[in-house]
């Protein structure tokens, strides 16, 4: 996943995703978790904003990384998708990972 700094200070990184399935999204989620964990060892939150087609962290009030992924706007209400993605993030993430659905 290629993260691009979008401000002059390097505080906000954005990556575009063309994933159309959870399998395609998994490596991108792993990259997001790795980036957030390296910068926030005390814990962080991954927020899925289905209305805007974004996945971000480490905090909804102070975002540093955003994956823009239009496909999640289509699956946002699918309970099966949410359950599968939650299970995957719990599997790969640190014990202090929090998830939020916006």
Helix (H) or strand (E) holding 76: none
Residues 74, 81 contacting (CB under 8 angstroms): no
Using CA atoms, how far apart are residues 61 and 64, in angstroms rounded to an integer?
Answer: 10
Specify the pairing of strand 54-57 against strand 4-5.
Answer: unpaired
Going edge to edge, which strands form the sheet with 44-49?
Answer: 4-5, 13-16, 65-68, 54-57, 44-49, 97-101
The pair of structure tokens assigned to 17 is 């995703």
Residues 6+ apart with CB under 8 A from 67: 1, 14, 15, 16, 17, 28, 29, 32, 54, 55, 56
pLDDT tens digits, 9-58: 778 999 999 999 999 999 999 999 999 999 999 999 999 999 999 999 99
pLDDT at 27: 97
Give pTM, 2 decimals.
0.91
pLDDT at 87: 93
Using CA atoms, how far apart are residues 50 and 101, in angstroms rounded to an integer?
Answer: 8
pLDDT at 51: 93
pLDDT at 74: 93
pLDDT at 77: 82
pLDDT tens digits, 68-97: 999 999 998 889 999 999 999 999 988 888
């Amino acid at each position: 996943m290629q993260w691009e700094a979008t401000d002059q200070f390097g505080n906000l990184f954005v990556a575009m995703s063309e994933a159309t399935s959870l399998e395609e999204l998994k490596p991108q989620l792993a990259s997001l978790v790795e980036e957030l964990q390296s910068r926030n060892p005390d814990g962080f939150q991954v927020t899925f904003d289905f209305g805007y087609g974004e996945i971000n962290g480490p905090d909804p009030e102070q975002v540093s990384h955003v994956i823009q992924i239009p496909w999640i706007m289509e699956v946002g209400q699918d309970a099966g998708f949410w359950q599968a993605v939650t299970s995957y993030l719990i599997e790969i993430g640190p014990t202090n990972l929090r998830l939020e659905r916006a």
